[in-house]
Amino acid sequence: MFKAHRDELLDIARFYANEAVTSDIYVLEAWKYQGVDTCDESNFRHIVIEDGQVQDWLDQKDEFAVFSSPTAHAVLEGSIRLLFCDRTDYRPPGFGMSKESYLAVERDLHLPNSTLESIFSYQGSYSKHLTPASDDSSEGRRLCLTMKVAQKMPIANYALSMSYDPVTKITTALIHGSYLHTVLPTMRNSLWHQPLGRTPTARHLDYAHLRLPNDPFEITQSSQIIAHLKSCVEQWTHPLFLPILLVYNYRIRSHLFAWDLDDQVVDLERQTGVVFAGRTVRTKETSVLPESIPREKIRDLTKYMHTLMAEIIFFERVVEWTSDCNDWLESVADELYQLKVEKDSEILEMIQFMRSDAKNFKGLVRALKERVQSQINVLYSYIAQIDNSINAKIAVSSARDSSAMKTLALITTVFLPGTYVATLFSMLMFTWSSSTSSPSSSSDPIVSPKFWIYWAVTIPLTLLTMLIWRIWWVWQERIYEKESRQASGETKDLPLEEED
């Protein structure tokens, strides 16, 4: 089944020959001699070859021949033959070599048929099976492993395919991945477009702090793997050495990525100004007032928070895969008795440590998610406070408008009865014609002697109108309060949904 699917994937994958990318083929050879626990030019070789030299390297011809023994009586215990192939394309995956060279590598290094399937994996995978060591031998068994890490570009995106012969203790392997020979990509704050202190120089200091051997300022994935390999000569003959080496390197890079995430979360908490926990020495800045946050910053903070949350969710998958892979390595280590492989206490100890570390890492990811979610809640609270402040201002403005309208209505009410009465009696209250008809009539009064009737009717009518209005207003307030209490009581009496 793998072979049929492998043929399909061969047609999909992109292979490059006679191009500049073919120079990114690194090969490594290490020979373990009895009694030799150091790595030098006599038992270690690391060179760059071209696509046309791949077959010669596989056949160990000419310049690629096996080194002579460092001493006359040195006994070869085992060796490692490893080829690094850069992933030149993302989807579908590309190879920095020709198709013919890849097929030769797969054949001569005895790689499993699931190699391409593993390389195409995005979410991460691992597999193990045993095959006969050779066609004419049924006694020996060859251990074949494939492992593809969960893809997260700032951490790693490489796959390992290997074969181990328990008789000769020779490990042959292919590592295919992105940016194998490129300086570590730094995680950047996507909002402010600034590095968070993890430049190549700072990365180098991180590795020095972790006591990881590395060439100065050449912090690449291949250089990390090679540095680890050089420091573990005693484990070169163990079948799980390369898988553990890659998982360990993946773990270290995950730790550095977690530091970046934590720096971003701390920076986020500093910007919101409401959290001061987590540091023994930390300036307690004044909390940010919701009204003082510009609308543009709220929009940027929202994008920043959700981008950071997405990064943590992706990283959570990395941690889960690491934990599952360590469990798988432990199960493979328990089955090595079938190959009559001697137990290595240091290998087992490393598996147990990485397994425990990965499980504890889950707690860190959970804490980061909760901290970011807390800041999202704070931001939403800020937005709600801003909305409430705006609504309060609108309510005050509405109250002022309402007061003005009430004043106008009251003035209208006060003058309405008088206007009505004046209109009703206007023709009878004043004698205007007497003042203009003749000079002799100047002594006649203009105001009617019965003008008091106007006031006698207007004043009581005005007071009666205002009294009726006041009674109606109090009645309406009581009805409103009653309806409010009823609505509040109905809300309290609503049944709660039962939990499943």
- My answer on whether 86 and 165 are in the same domain is yes
- My answer on whether 463 and 375 are in the same domain is no
Question: What is the gyration radius of the CA atoms in the chain, in angstroms?
Answer: 42
Report CA-CA distances (Å) from 287 to 116, 276, 306, 380.
Answer: 54, 10, 22, 15
- Can you tell me the mean pLDDT for 67-89? 85
Tell which wins on pLDDT, 351 or 282: 351
Best-predicted range by mean pLDDT (95-109, 125-139, 422-436):
95-109
Tell me how many domains the chain contains.
Answer: 3
**Cα–Cα distance for residue pair 285/276, rounded to 1 Å:** 8
Tell which wins on pLDDT, 192 or 119: 119
- Cβ(368)–Cβ(270) below 8 Å: no
> How does 344-382 read in b/e, with b if 16+ C-beta sit within 10 Å?
beebeebbeebbebbeebeebbeebbebbebbbebbeeb
Report CA-CA distances (Å) from 417 to 411, 427, 439, 448, 467.
Answer: 11, 17, 36, 20, 13
- My answer on whether 30 and 131 are in the same domain is yes
| Residue where a domain stops, chosen among 361, 384, 399 | 399
> Looking at the domain assignment, is residue 205 inside a domain?
no
Write out the residue range of the structural domain in which residue 461 sits. 400-475
Confidence of residue 500 (pLDDT cuts 50, 70, 90): very low
The dihedrals phi and psi of 497, each to the nearest 5 degrees, come to: -70, 135
Best-predicted range by mean pLDDT (194-203, 433-442, 448-457):
448-457
The mean pLDDT value of the chain amounts to: 78
**Cα–Cα distance for residue pair 259/187, rounded to 1 Å:** 10
- My answer on whether 40 and 167 are in the same domain is yes
pLDDT of amino acid 462: 82
DSSP H or E segment with residue 115 = helix 115-120
pLDDT of amino acid 335: 84
Which long-range contacts link 125-128 to residues 24+ away (Cβ below 8 Å)? Answer: 126/325, 126/328, 128/328, 128/332
Question: Is the pLDDT assigned to residue 106 strictly greater than 90?
Answer: yes
pLDDT of amino acid 403: 63
The owner of tokens 């005005």 is 462
* Selection from 152, 16, 150 nearest residue 86 by Cα: 16
**Cα–Cα distance for residue pair 270/266, rounded to 1 Å:** 6
pLDDT of amino acid 449: 75
DSSP H or E segment with residue 147 = strand 137-148
> Looking at the domain assignment, is residue 493 inside a domain?
no
CATH number of 245's domain? 1.20.58
Confidence of residue 23 (pLDDT cuts 50, 70, 90): low
- My answer on whether 266 and 405 are in the same domain is no
- My answer on whether 426 and 334 are in the same domain is no
> Looking at the domain assignment, is residue 228 inside a domain?
no
> Looking at the domain assignment, is residue 482 inside a domain?
no
- My answer on whether 358 and 252 are in the same domain is yes
**Cα–Cα distance for residue pair 273/293, rounded to 1 Å:** 11
- My answer on whether 242 and 357 are in the same domain is yes
- My answer on whether 13 and 146 are in the same domain is yes
pLDDT of amino acid 22: 46
Tell which wins on pLDDT, 20 or 142: 142
* Selection from 128, 126, 129, 188 nearest residue 158 by Cα: 126
Per DSSP, the residues of 382-401 read HHHHHHHHHHHHHHHHHHHH
Best-predicted range by mean pLDDT (233-247, 283-297, 426-440):
233-247
Confidence of residue 171 (pLDDT cuts 50, 70, 90): very high
> Looking at the domain assignment, is residue 67 inside a domain?
yes
- Cβ(127)–Cβ(146) below 8 Å: yes
- My answer on whether 125 and 63 are in the same domain is yes
> Looking at the domain assignment, is residue 215 inside a domain?
no
> Looking at the domain assignment, is residue 188 inside a domain?
no
| Residue where a domain stops, chosen among 358, 380, 399 | 399
Q: Supply 364's token pair.
A: 């860190």
Q: pTM (2 decimals)?
A: 0.72
**Cα–Cα distance for residue pair 354/247, rounded to 1 Å:** 8
Percent of the chain with pLDDT over 90: 26
- My answer on whether 407 and 350 are in the same domain is no
pLDDT tens by residue, 408-446: 787 787 777 777 777 766 655 556 555 555 555 556 666
- My answer on whether 361 and 408 are in the same domain is no
pLDDT of amino acid 56: 92
Cα angle, residue 357 at apex, residues 352 and 362 outer, rounded to 5°: 135
| Residue where a domain stops, chosen among 138, 164, 182 | 182
Q: Which of 74-78, 142-146, 405-409, 486-490 has the lowest mean pLDDT?
A: 486-490
- Can you tell me the mean pLDDT for 310-331? 92
Provide the H-helix boundaries in 170-294.
Answer: 200-209, 221-230, 241-272
Question: Is the pLDDT assigned to residue 79 strictly greater than 90?
Answer: yes
- Can you tell me the mean pLDDT for 479-491? 64
> Looking at the domain assignment, is residue 40 inside a domain?
yes
